[in-house]
Amino acid sequence: MSKPMNRRKFLDFLGKGTLGMALMPPLMSSPFGSTIPGQNNFSLQGIRPCAEDDLRLADGFQYDLLIRWGDPISNSDRFGYNNDYTAFIPDDPSNPHSGFLWVNHEYVDPKFVSQYDGKKKKTKEQVKTEMYNVGGSILRVKKDDNDQWMVDTNAEGNRRLHALTEIPFNWHEPIAGSKTAIGTLANCSGGITPWGTILTCEENYDSFWGERNFETGDVEYAGRGLGWQEYYEHPPEHYGWVVEVDLKTGKAQKHVALGRCAHECATVKELPDGRIVVYTGDDANNECIYKFISSKPGSLSEGTLYVANLRDGRWESLDYEKQPILQENFKSQTEVLIRLRESSKLVGGSRLDRPEDIEIDPVTGAVFISLTNNKPKGNFHGSILKLEEENGRYDSLKFKPGTFLAGGKDTGFSCPDNMAFDGAGNLWFTSDISGRAMNQGEYATFKNNGLFVVPRRGTQAGSVLQVGSAPNDAEFTGLSFATDGKTLFMSVQHPGETSSSLSNLTSRWPEGGNSIPRPAVVCISGSGLEGLQAL
């Protein structure tokens, strides 16, 4: 993709250029390594877990709705369903209050999206409606005269990508016989490239077009899947990729070199020589974490993919030419990348507890990974894993793993998922207790899903504070900060997901009354957000 902006400038106006400059001497121990004294005595009063059908925030925080499922974004397009990852890309360093907001749309709930009641065969129109509601939205956003963010529906550039959008592969060979795929779907979390495009990750692709059994070659669906295959035929190999989108043009490409799995996210670092490192996790029980290191500056297609071996603290190469065991089991590098789950175990990849989001600590450079849970193994509450690359080099092939925080009653959170560091190095994260498990058994004390912060400095440094509680059945996802750190964009995904029908709803958020629930993006602001960053 083109690089419309000098990379250093881009990072600077994201506010990342001066981090680490204001560090004070350590005082005492915290999960961050050492506690840094605050520059004032600001502190937050967290909230208790809550089971109300409402979006509750701690004192010092407020939110405004930015956009909801079904809202028009232009004369021809509407906002999709189940919004997840968000990424704010400002237009210009001199005006951080205007830019693009990318939003993922992960999956559909047919009872809401196509009013499919499960009683007879879904019509083609219903399938097309569902296909339109996944993918992503490119939004032009700005602050209005009242200092509130709004979607500028009259601006050029608002558009949708969805399950009917044609997208080429960035690879030298066809994938399942084609150089292009139809559609992007299962778009969970993502990342931002140094040249200002976004990466959107196709996670649970098998729930749309199934998965091919490697032994038999048959495509298998969980149940009947969504039934899209009754009207359309697309190979499963066309999904499960990291997709790059240029927000200015809407052009997209699927990056085969980053491998194919249930990608949760793709977190990018640029090396001093311009080469690119991408961390990505495969969110399923007993699956792996990967790292791509490019061989050329600015490339997401030329380089080597590695899998994490936590036992030995080593990144194991998935290079077909260098691994005889891959040559014995697969026909080519392309097949290794398509069948990443099988190939990664052959070279020693560690089976982990559902790797979700990955973020890089802006103060120490450590790599943080949410391991949300692994119920069959008895891990109900998950943890946040920390990897320290050898000598702080992102292209190192050795690392030291450790647990940053473990979920459970002691820490007050369970099932960590999306994370974001703000410009001051405070860690924000959300929880994803599944709708059917929430408020019951092991999970009862945590109540609805939440938003949490781990302050970096001051008297609360290193403690876990709950600052938000989600509506019934919902999870918070897609945390991202505006350039000035004064707004936290956040998705509210799948409110009312466990409703048995439209006449028996578990949530009516956000409108209340007699409304059906609608996923939405909110803008969080307030003295709590700003006070923490000023510590």
Binding site for ligand FEO (CB under 6 A): 106, 188, 203, 264, 283, 356
Stretch that binds Ca ion, among 33-41, 335-343, 414-422, 478-486 (CB under 5 A): 414-422
In this structure, are residues 295 and 275 in contact, taking their beta carbons and an 8 Å threshold?
A: yes
CA distance 212 to 235: 8
Q: Is 473 in the site for Ca ion (CB under 5 A)?
A: no
Structure tokens at 156: 């050029």
Longest dimension (CA), the chain: 67
Using the minimum distance from each CB to ligand FEO, give the nearer residue, 309 or 430: 430
* Beta carbon of residue 293, minimum distance to ligand FEO (angstroms, whole number): 24
Number of residues that bind Ca ion (CB under 5 A): 3
Q: CA–CA separation, 144 vs 316, rounded Å?
A: 50
203 binds, among Ca ion, ligand FEO, none (CB under 5 to 8 A by kind): ligand FEO
Q: Which does 316 bind (CB under 5 to 8 A by kind): Ca ion, ligand FEO, none?
A: none
Which of 417, 422, 473, 497 lies at the binding interface for Ca ion (CB under 5 A)?
417
Secondary structure class of 343 (helix, strand, coil): helix
**Residue 472 CB partners (closer than 8 Å, separation 6+):** 51, 52, 53, 448, 495, 496, 506, 507, 509
Stretch that binds Ca ion, among 311-319, 349-357, 359-367, 445-453 (CB under 5 A): 349-357
Q: Which residue, 378, 147, 349, 193, is CA-closest to 261?
A: 349
Closest CB 176 distance from ligand FEO, rounded Å = 24
Which one of ligand FEO, Ca ion, none is in contact with 106 (Cβ closer than 5 to 8 A by kind)? ligand FEO
Q: Whole-number minimum distance, CB 275 to ligand FEO, in Å?
A: 28
* Six-digit token string for 287: 């699956």
Query: Which amino acid would we find at residue 73?
Result: I
- Rounded to a whole number of angstroms, the minimum distance from the CB of residue 201 to ligand FEO is 8
C-alpha span between 362 and 172 (Å, rounded):
35
* Listed ranges 38-46, 222-230, 429-437, 516-524: which one lies at the site for Ca ion (CB under 5 A): 429-437
Contact 180, 169 (CB under 8 A): yes
User: Contact, 73 vs 250, CB < 8 A?
Assistant: no
Listed ranges 28-36, 86-94, 375-383, 430-438: which one lies at the site for Ca ion (CB under 5 A): 430-438
DSSP element (H, E) containing 23 = none
Q: Give the residue with the Cβ less far from Ca ion, 188 or 318.
A: 188
Shortest Å, Cβ 226 to Ca ion:
19
Handedness of CA 478, 482, 488, 490 (dihedral sign): negative
Q: Give CA torsion, residues 76, 82, 84, 89, to 10 deg.
A: 10
Nearer to ligand FEO, 195 or 428 (CB): 428
Find the residue with minimal CB distance to Ca ion: 432
- Nearer residue to Ca ion within complex by CB, 417 or 473: 417
Given candidates 432, 443, 447, 495, which one binds Ca ion under the rule CB under 5 A? Answer: 432
Q: Which position has the token pair 């311009």? A: 274
Side-chain-facing half-sphere of 135: CA atoms under 13 Å? 26
How far from the centroid of its chain's Cα atoms is residue 204's Cα? Answer: 13
Q: Which is nearer to Ca ion, 284 or 520 (CB)?
A: 284
Tell me how far, at minimum, the Cβ of 529 lies from ligand FEO, in Å: 24
Interacting residues with Ca ion (CB under 5 A): 356, 417, 432
